[in-house]
A and B are shown apart, each in its own frame.
Chain A
Amino acid sequence: MATQQDEGGFPLSISHNLRQFRLLELPPDLLELIDSPHPPSLSIKAQAPSAAAATPTAKPAYAVLCTPTRTYQLRQVQTSNSVYITQPDPKRSSQAGISAIASCSATLEPHPVISSAVDFLKDVLPVYDIIDGDVDAAGNGKNRQRIFVDIPLSDGECQTAWTELIAFEFAGSSYRPSANTLFQVWKAVHSAVQVEGIKLDSQFLTDEILTSIESEGFPSSLVSALFQRLGDEKDSKGPWSCLNRQRTVQFVGQTLLEQKTGDHYLVAQFLDLWRDSLPEAWREEAELETIKGSFHFPSSTTIAFGGDAAVASAASEKDTPKAGSSSRKWHEKLGRARQKK
Chain B
Amino acid sequence: MPQIPLRTPSYPTPPSNPLPHLLHTPSGLALLELQATIHFPSSSNSSSFVCEDKTEVGKLVFPLYNPALYGDDDTKWMKRVYFYVGKYQRLTGEVRKLGRPFAVVRRKETDTVMGEEREDVEMGDVVESIEGRDNGGEGEELEIVEVVRYKIVFSSRPEPVGGEKEEV
| Residues of chain A having any CB pair with chain B under 8 Å | 2-6, 8-17, 19-28, 31, 34-35, 39, 41-49, 61-63, 65, 74, 76, 80-91, 95-100, 102, 106-108, 149-150
**Contact (A82, B38) CB under 8 Å given A8-B62, A9-B84:** yes
Assuming the contacts A19-B106, A25-B102, A87-B27, asked whether A97 and B56 have C-beta atoms less than 8 A apart, the reply is yes
Distance, CA A9 to CA B2, complexed state (A): 46
Instruction: Indicate if the CB atoms of A5 and B131 lie closer than 8 Å.
Output: no
Shortest beta-carbon distance from A69 to chain B in Å = 15
For A74, list chain B residues within 8 Å (CB).
126-127
Secondary structure of the B contact surface, majority rule: mixed
Instruction: Quote the shortest CB–CB distance from B51 to chain A (angstroms).
Output: 8
CB atoms of B6 and A44 under 8 A apart = yes
Given the contacts A10-B59, A13-B54, A16-B42, A34 and B147 also touching, CB distance less than 8 Å:
yes
Contact A13 B106, beta carbon cutoff 8 Å: no
Contact size class for B?
35 or more
Which residues of B are found within 8 Å of A6, using beta-carbon distances?
Answer: 61, 63, 82
Additional A-B contacts beyond A9-B59, A34-B147, A35-B147 (20; CB < 8 A): A4-B166, A8-B63, A11-B56, A12-B57, A14-B57, A19-B122, A20-B106, A22-B105, A24-B105, A34-B103, A42-B6, A42-B8, A44-B130, A48-B2, A76-B125, A82-B34, A82-B37, A84-B33, A88-B28, A91-B16
B-side contacts of A39, CB under 8 Å? 8
Q: Which residues of B contact A43 (CB under 8 A)?
A: 3-6
By a CB distance below 8 angstroms, the chain B residues around A46 are 2, 127, 130-131
Beta-carbon contact of B16 and A3 below 8 Å = no
**B31: A residues at CB distance < 8 A:** 23, 83-86
CA A87 to CA B19, docked complex, whole Å: 10
Q: Is the CB of B56 within 8 A of A13?
A: yes
Contacts of B82 in A (CB 8 A): 2, 5-6, 9
**Interface of chain B residues 23 through 64 with chain A (CB within 8 A):** 27-38, 40, 42, 44, 53-63
Whether A98 contacts B63 in the complex (CB less than 8 A), given A17-B116, A43-B6, comes out as no
B16 and A98 within 8 A (CB): no
User: In the complex the two chains form, what is the Cα distance from A4 to B100 in whole Å?
Assistant: 35
A26, A62, A76: which contacts B100 (Cβ < 8 A)?
A26
Check A62–B6 contact: CB distance below 8 A: no
CA of A106 to CA of B1, assembled, Å: 23
Min Cβ gap A159→B in Å is 15
Q: Which of B132-168 contact A (CB under 8 A)?
A: 142, 144-145, 147, 155, 161-162, 165-167
B104 CB, nearest partner CB in chain A, Å: 5
Q: Quick one: closest B residue to A100, CB to CB?
A: B32
Contacts of B123 in A (CB 8 A): 19-22
**What is the minimal beta-carbon distance from B23 to any residue of chain A, in angstroms?**
9
Q: Which of A2, A80, A107 contacts B102 (CB 8 A)?
A: A107
A-side contacts of B15, CB under 8 Å: 87-91, 96
In the complex, the 3 A-B pairs of residues with the closest C-beta atoms, listed nearest first: A9-B61, A39-B8, A24-B103
